[in-house]
Amino acid sequence: MESLVTTQPFASSADLADRPQTLEVLADGVYALTADGDPNIGAIEGDDFVVCFEALATPVAADKWLTMLREHTTKPVRYLALSHYHAVRVLGAAAYGATAIIAHDNTAALIEERGIEDWDSEFARFPRFAKGDETIPGLTRPTITFADRLTIDLGPTRGSLVLEHVGRGHTEGDIVAWLPQQKILFTGDLIEAEAALYTGDAFHREWSTSTLDRVREYGAEVLIGGRGPVVHGTAAVEAAIEQTRGFLTTLLTAVGGVQERGGTLEEAFAAAHDALVDQYGQWAIFQHCLPFDVARAWDELSGIERPVIWTPERDRALWDRLQR
Ligand SMILES: [Zn+2]
């Protein structure tokens, strides 16, 4: 309970050390860059083009990744697919020179509705990711959007890449990238492997039931989550999905229990912390995420359908309320 009586540094404001990055070749022409708990990204080769999945926080950060990728392929980036709207995943888009930027319909709408506020909020929470932010030309706006599924033909021997929305979860507009021939799945923040879940913009009940059920139905043999190491093997993939579900259901049960008995948000935070800390407390960004997760779970269970927009002021006020 120590965290409840001391003042923690705000969000990830004290986390200033760069993380080691690892590029893994998962199959012929399929790449993942993981970063020891920082956001993961991917790239998939077609016969004469590349599809990138996720863009990172700034063009400077994206250039570093593209330099690593260029050691494996020099094909041009035709498509940049964004798993969801969060700033640290999309604002590096300018570096890719992509012909088209693909996202879910709801992601495009969310960027218009709350993209500026999210940019300010996330860069205050993660000052480390804001390095080089002067190279960001503005909001990243998708040029191709879809509601359910979009399939990209990679060429005669490479199969296809399926971009699909499997329900609301981490946000209102998450998509996954699925390679049916290689059985490799990029999930964005819908799944985390050994990293805490950020659920401040989430739909916990849908995410923890039908959305994760659909993620499981792919039968992936390799899974790249939003953060954490690449997951290899069907058993480990299922374990990662169920760990994600466990975090969500534990959070919902703890917050819902306090709410049902007429308790306060502060009590819900304490209950969620105690319920989650043994299994998830050592994972990346657990302390950072928990206040925002509890606040959104509380709202969702109170009947507030859509997540309230986060701003730097709202972030700080919540942090101060729940950490002291
Ligand atoms: Zn996110």
The pLDDT tens digits for 258-287 are 999 999 999 999 999 999 999 999 988 899
Q: Ligand 1: distance of its center to the CA of 201 in Å? A: 8
Cα–ligand 1 centroid distance for 266 (angstroms): 24
Task: Output b/e per residue, 254-290; b: 16+ Cβ within 10 A.
Answer: bbbebbeeeeebebbbbbbbebbeeebeebbbbbbbb
C-alpha of residue 204 to centroid of ligand 1, in Å: 14
Asked if 46 and 154 count as a contact pair (C-beta separation under 8 A), the reply is yes
Please name every residue paired with 155 in a beta bridge, in sequence order, or none if there are none. 159
Is the CB of residue 89 less than 8 Å from the CB of residue 83? yes
Task: Say if residues 102 and 134 touch (Cβ distance below 8 Å).
Answer: no
CA 199 to ligand 1 center in whole angstroms: 8
- CA of 198 relative to ligand 1 center, distance in Å: 7
Between the CA of 165 and the centroid of ligand 1 the distance, in Å, is 15
Whole-structure pTM over 0.85, yes or no? yes
pLDDT digits (tens, 9 = 90+) for 215-253: 999 999 999 999 999 999 999 999 999 999 999 999 999
Q: What is the pLDDT of residue 173?
A: 98
* CA of 124 relative to ligand 1 center, distance in Å: 15
Q: How remote is the CA of residue 170 from the centroid of ligand 1, in Å?
A: 7
DSSP 41: E
Residues of the chain with pLDDT under 50: 1-3, 5
